[in-house]
Amino acid sequence: MSFSFDVKKELLSFEYKNRHCLTAAIAAIINISGYTGTDNGRKLIIIHNENPNVLGKAAEIIDTLFGADIYCHKDNIIIEDEALAGRILDAACIRDSMGFSIDPPIDPGVVSRNCCKRAYIRTAFLCCGSISDPNKHYHIEFVDNNYDHAHALKELIGDFGINMKIVERKNHFVVYCKEAELIVDLLNVMSAYRALLELENLRVIKGVRNNVNRLVNCETANLSKVVSAALRQIEAIEYISDKKGLDYLPDNLKKMAEARMTYADASLKELGEKMVPPVGKSGVNHRLKKICEIADKLKGDINNG
């Protein structure tokens, strides 16, 4: 199963303890997945969603709020009782002549409490949300059919300090976020705590892995520099030895040249510790630099001669 499926499974198990949050939840379901119509002049509500668990949740909420047994027909719930349809629309503050309130898309009275805002967002995710596998990348989104409702949902989520973005995709309006920290915050708002912990654990593992990779790359780069420098120094020492002999060098440089030839892969610090008496890193670097300069001068003199 996907990570998104697991998040929705966790949200479906959330138990509401009051009517106002249940009302916010049914408002989200109708605003996102609901349609109104008429049958022989009677107003009816159709709730369409391809996830049967979402339809089951809708039926459960309606039963709890209004004491009505609701049945699902394939991908739909059809509420043909006009009185019940009116009660649901009134409770959700969806009031226009066709059953929907266009302005505002989310009635402030329905989400006046933080717990109701969370219920609305939680249910909106069940209806039209998805989240990517955090092992691959970070992305959470709500795919909305209605432009105004998408912006209202973005603002509602923004009340929790979570900055979402909107993009149009194939005649839909996608409210999304790609920042891991904000996705964690949004999972917290929706009370998806198991998913939150899993994502946080993956973030820690990724962070450790990235730090290890950076350290390895840094060590590799430093080792490459040490090896390249040592090769240049050895080449200079061999050139001097071949053309003039190491006795050509001052005593302190001669000892340093002999040490470098003996400990070809040693760092400057390690090389200094081999000297008697020990020499500091900067002193070793200075002497090897002088040796290279002497070799370069010899090459110049020979070429000019």
Number of Cβ within a 10 Å radius of residue 36: 18
The pLDDT value given to residue 264: 79
Kindly tell me if the per-residue pLDDT of 99 is higher than 50.
Answer: no
pLDDT number for residue 101 = 46
Helices (H), 74-130: 82-91, 114-128
What pLDDT, in 10s, does the model give residues 208-261?
A: 666 666 766 776 677 677 777 878 888 888 888 888 888 888 888 888 888 888
Report how far apart, in Å, the C-alpha atoms of 122 and of each of 27, 31, 76, 161, 239 are.
12, 14, 20, 16, 75
- C-alpha dist (Å) from residue 224 to 15, 228, 230, 273: 60, 6, 10, 21
How many angstroms separate the Cα of 49 from the Cα of each of 37, 119, 153, 179, 263? 17, 18, 19, 28, 73
Q: What is the CA radius of gyration of the chain?
A: 36
Query: What percent of the chain has pLDDT above 90?
Result: 38
Give the pLDDT of residue 131.
95
CB 42 within 8 A of CB 80: yes
Would you kindly state where each structural domain of the chain is located, as residue ranges? 3-191, 206-304
CATH 3.40.50.2300 matches 3-191: no
Least confident of 145-149, 166-170, 210-214, 273-277: 210-214
- Give the Å distances, CA to CA, from 48 to 36, 59, 82, 89, 136: 11, 12, 18, 16, 31
- Of 90, 68, 93, nearest in space to 79 by CA: 68
> First vs last Cα of the chain: how many Å apart?
79
- Rounded CA separation 206/195 (Å): 16
Contacts of 145 (CB under 8 A, 6+ apart): 32, 172, 173
Element at 230 (helix H, strand E) = helix 193-243
Q: What span, in angstroms and rounded, lies between the C-alpha atoms of 67 and 3?
A: 34
Average pLDDT of the segment spanning 166-186: 93
> What is the H or E stretch that residue 77 is in?
strand 76-79
For residue 80, is pLDDT > 90? no
- Asked which of 129-138, 163-172, 175-184, 265-274 is least confident by mean pLDDT, the reply is 265-274
